[in-house]
Amino acid sequence: MVRINKYLAQCNLGSRRSVEKLVLDGKISINGKVETDLSLQINPNVDIIKHEGKLIIPKSENIYLMLNKPKKYLVSKKDDFDRRLIYDLLPDFGTNLFYIGRLDYMSEGLLLLTNDGDFAEKIIHPKYKLQKLYKVKIKGNITADSIDKLRKGIILNGKKTKPAIVYVNNVKNNITTLKITIFEGRKRQIRYMLKSVGSDVLELKRLQIGNVKLNKLPLGMWRMLKPSEVTSLLYTSKTNTKRK
């Protein structure tokens, strides 16, 4: 027997959090009956599980990859304005490959994708506190007081951000390059953090997630994660949770 959300994640429908919404929205049926109980235990060998009327089965192979996302590519599976999507840069793997976290339209850098819902949950959920390193270019200089505020946490939408690691990497031609490490992933978080201290972001690039680094992967290209990288991400998230 297995909990319904875990099984749906194994069936390549998304992370455990996202498949829970499918259940609550009444899009999952068990043996012909719509089920909205997240505590439900199912027997995959006996029960017939369907998503919007279509039979679902567990995936046969896990895929883990990194993409060096360019600017002006949308992290989405569709767009009403016909903008370019990250999936335009990837081959058809014959499976529902979904992104882990996001990068906004004008940002670039490391993006992880997978068809393993359990893995995605351990990377994206705030409780795992997986660090993310960014290189950020801003217009003009930034004061020591502003850096201190970023390090201690900024109030965004009524909630304080977790302490960040921030330092100046370079200053040239009235442009300051920062290295910023955060331990959460709110929408456009770094842009809003810097805006709150009066700095305008010119460029933003994610360089690292956990111990996995973008390194010299060319812009717009992808590669499979090494088994050691997958293990490292899982180990880091597990260790961070224990330190809580």
- Residue 38 DSSP symbol: T
Active site residue 104: yes
Bridge partners for 190 per DSSP:
none
Q: What is the DSSP letter of 15?
A: -
In this structure, the dihedral spanned by the alpha carbons of residues 53, 59, 62 and 68, taken in order and rounded to 10 degrees, is: -20
Q: List the one residue out of 239, 19, 32, 49 whose CA is nearest residue 120.
A: 19
From the list 37, 79, 88, 104, the catalytic residue is 104
Distance, CA of 215 to CA of 206 (rounded, Å) = 11
Cα R_g (the chain), whole angstroms: 20
Check: CB of residue 160 under 8 Å from CB of residue 153. yes
CA distance 231 to 165: 25
Phi, psi of 169 (to 5 degrees): -95, -35
> Helix (H, G, I), strand (E, B), or coil: what is residue 221?
coil
Q: Active-site residue numbers?
A: 104
